[in-house]
Amino acid sequence: MSFSSDCKEELCRVPCDKSCCRMAELTALYLCLGSLSLLGQGRLSVRFAVESPAIARRIYRFVQKETQIAAQLQYVTHARFGGTREYVLTIGPNDAPALLESFDMMTAGASPMLLSTTPNVRLNRACCRHAFLRGAILGCGTLVNPEHAYHLEFTVKDDKLRRSILKCLQNLQIPVKRSSRRNALSLYVKQSEHIITILTACGAYQAVTTLESTLVKRQVLGNVNRAMNCDYANLRRQMNAGARQLRLIETLLASDKSLSLPPALQELAQARMQAPDLSLAELGQRLDPPVSKSGTNNRMRRLMKIAREIQ
Ligand SMILES: [Zn+2]
């Protein structure tokens, strides 16, 4: 399972206790996945075409709770698209008016009239805005696996849906980018902390945990790499210094001056010849008796000064 489908499965389990929020989520789902069919003689039906059974069950439950209508559920297999399955919920002509009335798409009464082909969106309360976003993620959202990138995208075909998603995200102070592809517009969010804010608002806490642990993992990896690069740079510097000293010492030992070197410097010169790669601290430990790093450094400076004089 992908991160996106895991997250949607989780969103389908988020409890939604208030009627206002159920309607807000259902409105988003309708704008993403719903459609209205005209059957002739003023008869209408409503249809939701859904990618996963969990989303279909959630829509079924919400419709039933809000309107006492039991939708019909069908499984449709599309032979043309590699046998992809679609779950279709239909609210037939007898029940459709009641559902459309609850969406403010139709007037109530004995001779109902269609007012709009899309539901009225109510986003005044924060709870409903969060529920709307949950519906929008379920209906038209995609999340990229955080191991690869931080990316939450809404593929939006309807203008009302686009404006409503933007309003919800603006309320959470989340900057949104947009791009258009053929007949659909994409709204997307790229920063991990903003995706975390959205998922937290929607109640997808498990997905938030996954995202946060990926963030930590990436941070640790970055630190380790930086430390390794730093160690490598130190090592290279040390080896370069060792090689430089070695060249000077070789010249010095080949000259007459080597005979007049004090024994302490003589010993250090020999030690360096035998171990060109060691740091000064390590080199000092090889002397008899061992000498501290600063002591070795001091001796090495004197040795180098004499060697440079010969050059
Ligand atoms: Zn609400």
Q: What is the pLDDT of residues 7-58, one digit of tens each?
A: 999 999 999 999 999 999 999 999 999 999 988 888 899 999 998 999 999 9
Distance 128 CA to ligand 1 centre (A): 4
Neighbours of ion ligand 1 (CB under 5 A): 18, 20-21, 125, 127-128
> ω before 262 within 30° of 0 (cis)?
no
Mean pLDDT of all residues in 304-308? 88
Query: Which amino acid, 116?
Result: S
Mean pLDDT (the chain, rounded): 90
Distance 103 CA to ligand 1 centre (A): 15
Indicate the SS3 state at residue 277.
coil
Cα separation, 258 vs 305, whole angstroms:
13
Residue with tokens 């990316």: 151
Indicate the SS3 state at residue 48.
strand
| pTM, entire model | 0.73
Cα separation, 276 vs 269, whole angstroms:
10
* Proportion of the chain above pLDDT 70, given as a percent: 98
Which tokens belong to 216? 């930590």
Distance 19 CA to ligand 1 centre (A): 7
Give ∠ CA 36-119-7 in degrees, rounded to 5.
90
Mean pLDDT of all residues in 156-180? 93
**Where residue 254 falls among pLDDT bands split at 50, 70, 90?**
confident
Distance 83 CA to ligand 1 centre (A): 38
Cα separation, 245 vs 230, whole angstroms:
23
Burial of 99 (0-12, 13-18, 19+ CB in 10 A): buried
How many other C-beta atoms lie within 10 A of the C-beta of residue 137? 26
188 DSSP β-pair partners: 153, 177
Q: What is the pLDDT of residues 202-238, one digit of tens each?
A: 999 999 999 999 988 888 888 888 888 888 888 888 7
Q: What confidence score (pLDDT) does residue 85 get?
A: 80
Cα separation, 215 vs 251, whole angstroms:
55
Cα separation, 278 vs 238, whole angstroms:
8
Residue with tokens 């939701």: 48
Distance 251 CA to ligand 1 centre (A): 85
Cα separation, 227 vs 188, whole angstroms:
34
Distance 21 CA to ligand 1 centre (A): 4
Residue with tokens 């040390």: 238
Q: What confidence score (pLDDT) does residue 220 get?
A: 84
Cα separation, 245 vs 261, whole angstroms:
16
Complete edge-to-edge strand list for the sheet that includes strand 84-91: 34-40, 43-50, 84-91, 72-78
Distance 170 CA to ligand 1 centre (A): 17
**Where residue 277 falls among pLDDT bands split at 50, 70, 90?**
confident
